[in-house]
Structure 1
Amino acid sequence: MNAPERLKLPALDTAALAAHSARAWDEQIVAQLVDYIAIPAKSPMFDPDWRQHGHIEQVVRRAADWVQAQQVRGLTLEIVRLNDERGQPRTPLLFFEIAATRPEPDAASAPTVLVYGHLDKQPEFSGWRSDLGPWTPKIEDGKLYGRGGADDGYAVYAAIAAVRALQAQGATHPRIVGLIETCEESGSGDLPPYLDALRERLGQVSLVVCLDSGAGNYDQLWLTTSLRGNVTGALKVEILAEGVHSGDASGVVPSSFRILRHLLDRLEDSATGHLLPASLHCEIPADRLGQARATAAILGEAAWRSQPWACGADGGPTLPTTTDPVEALLNRTWRPTLSVTGADGLPAIGQAGNVLRPWTAFKLSLRLPPLVDGPRAALELKALLEADAPYNARVTFQPDGRAGAEGATGWNAPTLSPWLETAMQAASLAHWDAPLGYVGQGGTIPLMNLLQQGFPAAQMMVCGVLGPKSNAHGPNEFLHLDYARRLTAAVAQVLAAHP
Structure 2
Amino acid sequence: ETGEIIPEWLHIDLSKQLYSDAGEIVDVLGEALVTDFPFLEGVQPQHANLVEALLAQNWKPTLSITGADGLPSIANAGNVLRSHTSLKVSVRIPPGIESEPASEKLKKLLEENPPFGANVTFELDAAANGFAAPQMPPIIAEAVDFSSSKAFGKGSMPFYEGGTIPFLAMMQESYPNARFLVTGCAGPGNNAHGPNEKLHIPTVKSLTQCVVAVLAAMADI
User: Which among 200, 208, 219 is matched to residue 481 of structure 1?
Assistant: 200
Is 1:337 aligned to 2:40, yes or no? Answer: no
Partner residue in 1 for 2:73: 348
Q: Distance in 2 between matches of 1:374 and 1:349?
A: 36
Q: Which amino acid aligns with 1:409?
A: N
Q: Distance in 1 between matches of 2:77 and 2:90?
A: 26
Is 1:366 aligned to 2:94, yes or no? Answer: no
Q: How does 1:1-400 map to 2 (within 5 A)?
A: 271-312=1-42, 318-400=43-125
Structure with the bigger RCO (C-alpha within 8 Å, sep 6+) is 1
Q: Which amino acid aligns with 2:157?
A: G
Q: Which amino acid aligns with 2:8?
A: A
Does the Cα contact within 8 Å between 2:190 and 2:200 map onto a contact in 1? no
What is the SS of the residue equivalent to 1:385?
helix
Aligned-pair distance for 1:386? 1.0
Q: Which amino acid aligns with 1:381?
A: L
Q: Distance in 2 between matches of 1:452 and 1:283?
A: 21
Cα displacement string for residues 374-432 of structure 1 (whole angstroms, at most 9, x for unaligned residues): 111111111101112334433111121xxx3xx21212221221111111112212221
What is the SS of the residue equivalent to 1:363?
strand
Q: Which amino acid aligns with 1:367?
A: R
Does the Cα contact within 8 Å between 1:470 and 1:476 map onto a contact in 2? no
Is 1:493 aligned to 2:213, yes or no? Answer: yes
Identity among equivalent positions (%) equals 39
Is 1:446 aligned to 2:185, yes or no? Answer: no
Aligned-pair distance for 1:480? 4.1
Q: Which amino acid aligns with 1:302?
A: A
What is the SS of the residue equivalent to 1:362?
strand
What is the SS of the residue equivalent to 2:100?
helix
Partner residue in 1 for 2:179: 459
Aligned-pair distance for 1:337? 1.2
Cα displacement string for residues 14-61 of structure 1 (whole angstroms, at most 9, x for unaligned residues): xxxxxxxxxxxxxxxxxxxxxxxxxxxxxxxxxxxxxxxxxxxxxxxx
Q: Distance in 2 between matches of 1:307 and 1:480?
A: 21
What is the SS of the residue equivalent to 2:38?
coil
Question: What is the count of residue pairs matched by the alignment?
Answer: 218
Structure whose alpha-carbon radius of gyration is higher: 1
TM-score normalized with structure 1 length:
0.41
Q: Distance in 1 between matches of 2:175 and 2:148?
A: 26
Q: Distance in 2 between matches of 1:469 and 1:310?
A: 21
What is the SS of the residue equivalent to 1:298?
helix
Q: Distance in 2 between matches of 1:433 and 1:373?
A: 39
What is the SS of the residue equivalent to 1:358?
coil
Q: Any stretches of 5+ residues in structure 2 without a counterpart?
A: none
Q: Any stretches of 5+ residues in structure 1 without a counterpart?
A: 1-270, 313-317
Q: Distance in 1 between matches of 2:189 and 2:49?
A: 19
TM-score normalized with structure 2 length:
0.88
Q: Distance in 1 between matches of 2:32 and 2:199?
A: 17
Q: Distance in 1 between matches of 2:35 and 2:51?
A: 13
Cα gap change, 1:322/1:468 in structure 2, threshold over 3 Å: closer, same or farther?
farther
Cα gap change, 1:478/1:272 in structure 2, threshold over 3 Å: closer, same or farther?
farther
Q: Distance in 1 between matches of 2:212 and 2:76?
A: 56
Aligned-pair distance for 1:496? 2.5
Cα displacement string for residues 216-238 of structure 1 (whole angstroms, at most 9, x for unaligned residues): xxxxxxxxxxxxxxxxxxxxxxx
RMSD (Å) for aligned C-alpha atoms:
2.1
User: Which among 142, 146, 169 is matched to residue 426 of structure 1?
Assistant: 146
Q: Distance in 2 between matches of 1:320 and 1:478?
A: 27
